[in-house]
């Protein structure tokens, strides 16, 4: 019988890993992020679809609320391309600043340890569903507070939100 670990559980031993239902574990990661994504904007006083700007070099996302801004530290997990119909992990993309790939080492290591090709294969065939699964797994393993997705033309960017706080009143970021 397969075990389905709790929301924050990662298998500690080979015996645990051999019993883990990875499909269920992955679904739980998605469910966890759906719940967290409903919570963090409310907790930080963001409503609707706030304007935003991000900067890959500083790994920063700024969300503009009606009365204040929220500054978040993010990790670009990967991107999808509509024309290529694939998801590319940031650790495999030389165009992405290296700190994003470094922040994903916990995910890459977990994939190698448990022989999970989804987490160790640089380019995954598919689109948004596959990318969302990878994003939520990464968020779970990074213990992220939530996720953020942005589309720029043909490319969709998938971010984990590692930390967020109200911005000082004089903070300005380019983008």
pLDDT of residue 18: 63
Is residue 7's pLDDT more than 50? Answer: no
In a 3-state reduction of DSSP, which class is residue 9?
coil
Task: Tell me the pLDDT band of 4, cut-offs 50, 70 and 90.
Answer: very low
Q: What percent of the chain has pLDDT over 90?
A: 78
**Distance in angstroms (rounded) separating the CA atoms of residues 78 and 100:** 9
Per-residue pLDDT tens for 23-45? Answer: 999 999 999 999 999 999 999 99
Handedness of CA 26, 155, 162, 147 (dihedral sign): negative
The pTM (predicted TM-score) of the whole model is 0.85
């Amino acid at each position: 019988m397969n075990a389905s670990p709790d929301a924050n559980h990662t298998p500690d031993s080979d015996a645990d890993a051999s019993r883990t239902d990875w499909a269920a574990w992955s679904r739980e990661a998605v469910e966890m992020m759906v719940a967290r994504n409903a919570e963090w904007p409310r907790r930080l006083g963001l409503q609707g679809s706030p304007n935003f700007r991000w900067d890959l070099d500083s790994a920063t996302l700024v969300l503009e609320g009606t009365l204040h801004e929220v500054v978040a530290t993010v990790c670009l997990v990967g991107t999808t391309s509509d024309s290529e119909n694939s998801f590319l992990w940031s650790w495999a993309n030389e165009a992405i600043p290296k700190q994003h790939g470094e922040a994903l080492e916990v995910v890459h290591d977990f994939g190698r340890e448990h022989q999970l090709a989804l987490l160790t294969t640089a380019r995954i065939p598919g689109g948004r569903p596959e990318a969302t699964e990878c994003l939520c797994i990464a968020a779970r393993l990074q213990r992220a507070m939530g996720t953020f997705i942005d589309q720029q033309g043909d490319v969709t960017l998938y971010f984990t939100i590692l930390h967020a706080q109200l911005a000082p009143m004089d903070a300005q970021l380019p983008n």
